[in-house]
Amino acid sequence: MTPRWTPGQWALRAVMALAPLLAVVASVPAGASLRGWFLVLLVVLGAVYALFPASLAGIGVLALPLAWWVAVPDDPLHPMSMVAAAALLVAHVAGLVAGLGPDRLPVDPALLWRWVGRSALVLSAAPVVWLVADAMAEQPEQPWIWVAGVGAAALGAVVAGMRFGTSPAGSDALAKARLDVTNG
């Protein structure tokens, strides 16, 4: 399995394994103290995710840092939470791109850059969301805020779908490359 990886696949899989660890380590300035058993669990799940990008390990290794940030740091709204968000997004996109074809399929630079652009667009919302959450943290709970948040997220998804929807450019070339690699 691993000897057939291309250099691009090696890079993607290293990011898949290590970025969730970065998301947890980023919680230290927010008052968290790292726990060895949790880091070992992340390393194991990250390795499984890197070996098998389409496995359920990907859900676990990306969900555990989220749960960590909710439960452990003294200040879950610390600015380092944006570093954690970026790390998890990068790990997710690396897994998505790595899982688009067989292990031997070279990473298509055009496809990778398309996903980097999409990720940058998604990540650009993080500071806005963080500022709103930080401003609302001191306010009494407003029941309408959840409806407004879901509505804003839905609107963002619709706008992004209209702007970036349809099949990616070069998807026919990607399908042909998959067939070429699979058929030897």
pLDDT in tens, 86-134: 999 999 999 999 999 888 889 999 999 999 998 998 898 889 888 888 8
Distances (CA, A) of 53 to 47, 56, 109, 112, 123: 10, 8, 19, 16, 22
Can you give the residue ranges of every domain in the chain? Answer: 2-182
**Residue 90 near residue 48, CB atoms below 8 Å:** no
Residue with the bigger pLDDT between 9 and 184: it is 9
pLDDT at 12 over 70: yes
Dig out the tokens for 181 from the structure.
Answer: 């690699």
Question: Rounded mean pLDDT of 147-158?
Answer: 85
* pTM of this structure: 0.79
